[in-house]
Every structure is written in structure tokens, then in C-alpha cells.
């Protein structure tokens, strides 16, 4: 009972009826204590508490301030603009070292470049100037690779380089010592990986005249390489891209060239039994036409020895072989005609 009164006492006070309300509530509670009959006490207490809602309380409640806070009117900050210095280009000397101004790659900065550069598009007037120009900042520039700067870099790297080897002063000397050309390609792209499948491709080229062959080996080598030989440029070209790595394709190309070269010098046992009809190309020395030409040249003569016989000229032999092996065309026919007239010593102009 005492605990309930302590809890209700501060809330039941009123300006005009302080004592009356307190006494009426306490008298009713004492009467209810005597009635302890099957839960009637709790129900009547609840009904009595609900009636307390009709008591009028003050509309404004006091606020508990743990500490006093002084409210001050916040003043707006006044920002002072900094004095912007003039561009650096106004203070640059005409003979200033440019490598000290732009020593490495960087984005375009208008205050450091003493050039009236313009880039972009404007509907009216000229193109935008270099100040606040996003187009100039987006693109890469090579202001750090001016000729004087490149010369300075070369002078700094010269102490780490070896002198150029003697005997390789001209391109002709390079070809004599290094007849094989290797061509590879590196790709720079914007993708999740830096590797490009086309970078594994290797192209090897060499002139046929740089390889030493005899007649048999040269013919066999040309048959082995097939369409990889270009008669117009006299180049043998081998392209490899079967292996996943460039080094593997390079080794494979060198292996193909070496295997074809050494295989061309191999003479099989059945090649000695070949007849004239089995020959792959026309050769004057092993053809019956040689006997026919010598018989015509020595008609009516009786030479004492075989060395005294008249023989066909080298020009006639080459023109005849070219005519039969390459086929008839205007050039081959005219050349063969001229060589025949020279060999037979027929007077008159060739028509």
C-alpha cells in the first residue's frame, strides 16, 4: 500500500485539490483492502486507476537539462579567394632547358607549355584555347621526347652499350652475315589479358641465292618447299603458328628450314635409274638434243679430237632450257631466236 501511494503521489497533485484527491484515493484503497474475495481486489484497483485519467494535468512538462548549452547564432564563414599567380609561361626564358620543365610523361598542363595550342570544335569562332581544354588532357602527348631530350637520354645510356661491331656498317654486310629474317608482332590492347593469340605467329624468310646448292639439291629443295618459294623475289617464306608460344614456333620454323635443306642433298638409290622421260625438268646436258645440236654445228667437218668439235654457246643453252621449262611466251621466243642466230653466225638483222 505504501509503495503504491509513493508512486501515485507526484502524479495526483493539483493546484486546487491537492489534499482532497490524495485523501479520497487513500480512503478508497483502505476499503478495498478488506475485500479479498477471489480476485475482486485486483479488478477494483484496475477500475480505480482508470478513473484517474479524468484528472487534469498541466499541459507543459518541465525539460530536464543536464547541462546548460548556450545557443549562439552561427555566423556564415567568409571564404577569401586566393590570389592566383600568372601562368608559368610568362616567366620562362627563351633558352630554358625544356627537359627540366617536362622531364617525364604527364597530362597536358596549359600553364607549362609556352605554345598557343588549340584543339576541339566550337560552333562559332576558333577552336578552344589550351586553358580548361579537356581534349588536350585526354590525348597522350610527346612533349617529353623532344630531340634535345632524346639526345640527353642517349648520352646517358651510351656508357651501358657496346661499340657497334666492325664489318656491319652497311645493310649488304648485314645480309651476308645474317641472311635469315625473322618477323614477329607484339600487340597492345585494352582487354582483360595482355596476351594476344596472334603474337605467337613467326615468319621466317631467306633468299634462295644465299643457300648453297648443286643442280640436284636445288631442284629437290624447290619441290620440298613448294608454294613457299616466290620466283619473283627469290624468297623462301615459312610461317609457323601451330604451337602456343612464340619461342616454340621459332624453333619449329628453323627446324623446317634445316630439314628441307639437308634432305635436298640426299640422293636415293632409285634416282640413278631414272630415264629421260622421268626427269622433272629439261636439262640440256642429259638430253638427246645436245647430240643433235653438235651434229648440226659440225656438219661437213671432221674434227681430229672431241675437243675440236663445235659446241653450243651458253646463251643458247640457257634460252633453250628457259623456253622448255617455263613455257612459250614472247620474251622466251625472242631470246631463243637471237641466240640461235648468233650461234649459227647468220648475217642480217633480227626481225
All 3 cell numbers of residue 139?
Answer: 590525348
Q: How many CB atoms lie within 10 A of CB 102?
A: 18
All 3 cell numbers of residue 83?
Answer: 590570389
pLDDT on residue 202 = 97
Angle at CA of residue 131, ends 130 and 134, nearest 5°: 75
**Any idea where the domains of the chain sit in the sequence?**
96-161, 171-269, 282-344
pLDDT on residue 208 = 94
CA distance 219 to 226: 11
Answering whether pTM is above 0.95, one says no
How many Å from the N-terminal Cα to the C-terminal Cα in the chain? 152
pLDDT on residue 3 = 52
Residue located via cell numbers 620562362: 92
- Please state which CATH class domain 171-269 belongs to: alpha beta
Return per-residue pLDDT of the chain as tens, 351 residues. 555 455 555 554 444 444 444 444 444 444 544 444 444 444 444 455 444 445 555 567 777 777 765 555 556 777 788 888 888 888 888 888 898 899 889 999 999 999 899 999 888 888 999 998 999 998 888 999 999 999 999 999 999 999 888 888 888 888 889 999 999 999 988 778 888 899 999 999 999 999 999 988 998 999 999 999 998 999 999 999 999 999 999 999 999 999 999 999 998 888 878 777 777 778 787 788 888 888 888 887 777 676 777 888 888 888 888 888 888 889 889 988 888 888 887 765 544
Amino acid at each position: 500500500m505504501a509503495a503504491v501511494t509513493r508512486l501515485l503521489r507526484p502524479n495526483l497533485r493539483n493546484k486546487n485539490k491537492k489534499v482532497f484527491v490524495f485523501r479520497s484515493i487513500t480512503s478508497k484503497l483502505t476499503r478495498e483492502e478488506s475485500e479479498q474475495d477471489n480476485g475482486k481486489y485486483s479488478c477494483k484497483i484496475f477500475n480505480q486507476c482508470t478513473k484517474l485519467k479524468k484528472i487534469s494535468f498541466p499541459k507543459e512538462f518541465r525539460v530536464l537539462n543536464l547541462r546548460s548549452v548556450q545557443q549562439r547564432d552561427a555566423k556564415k564563414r567568409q571564404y577569401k579567394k586566393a590570389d592566383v599567380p600568372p601562368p608559368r609561361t610568362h616567366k620562362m626564358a627563351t633558352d630554358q632547358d625544356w627537359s627540366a620543365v617536362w622531364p617525364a610523361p604527364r597530362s597536358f598542363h596549359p600553364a607549362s607549355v609556352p605554345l598557343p595550342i588549340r584543339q576541339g570544335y566550337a560552333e562559332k569562332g576558333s577552336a578552344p584555347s589550351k586553358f580548361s581544354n579537356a581534349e588536350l588532357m585526354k590525348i597522350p602527348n610527346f612533349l617529353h621526347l623532344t630531340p634535345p631530350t632524346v639526345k640527353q637520354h642517349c648520352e646517358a645510356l651510351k656508357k651501358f652499350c657496346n661499340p657497334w661491331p666492325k664489318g656491319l656498317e652497311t645493310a649488304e654486310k648485314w645480309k651476308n652475315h645474317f641472311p635469315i629474317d625473322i618477323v614477329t608482332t607484339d600487340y597492345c590492347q585494352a582487354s582483360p589479358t595482355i596476351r594476344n593469340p596472334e603474337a605467337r605467329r613467326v615468319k621466317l624468310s631467306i633468299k634462295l641465292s644465299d643457300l648453297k646448292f648443286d643442280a640436284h639439291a636445288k631442284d629437290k629443295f624447290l619441290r620440298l618447299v613448294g608454294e613457299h618459294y616466290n620466283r619473283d623475289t627469290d624468297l623462301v617464306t615459312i610461317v609457323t603458328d601451330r604451337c602456343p608460344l612464340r619461342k616454340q614456333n621459332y624453333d619449329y620454323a628453323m627446324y623446317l628450314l634445316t630439314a628441307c635443306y639437308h634432305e635436298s642433298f640426299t640422293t636415293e638409290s632409285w634416282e640413278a635409274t631414272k630415264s629421260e622421260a622421268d626427269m622433272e625438268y629439261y636439262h640440256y646436258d642429259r638430253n638427246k638434243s645436245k647430240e643433235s645440236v653438235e651434229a648440226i654445228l659440225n656438219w661437213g667437218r671432221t674434227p681430229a679430237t672431241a675437243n675440236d668439235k663445235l659446241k653450243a654457246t651458253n646463251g643458247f643453252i640457257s634460252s633453250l632450257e628457259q623456253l622448255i621449262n617455263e613455257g612459250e611466251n614472247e620474251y622466251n621466243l625472242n631470246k631463243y631466236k637471237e641466240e640461235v642466230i648468233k650461234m649459227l653466225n647468220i648475217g642480217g638483222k633480227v626481225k
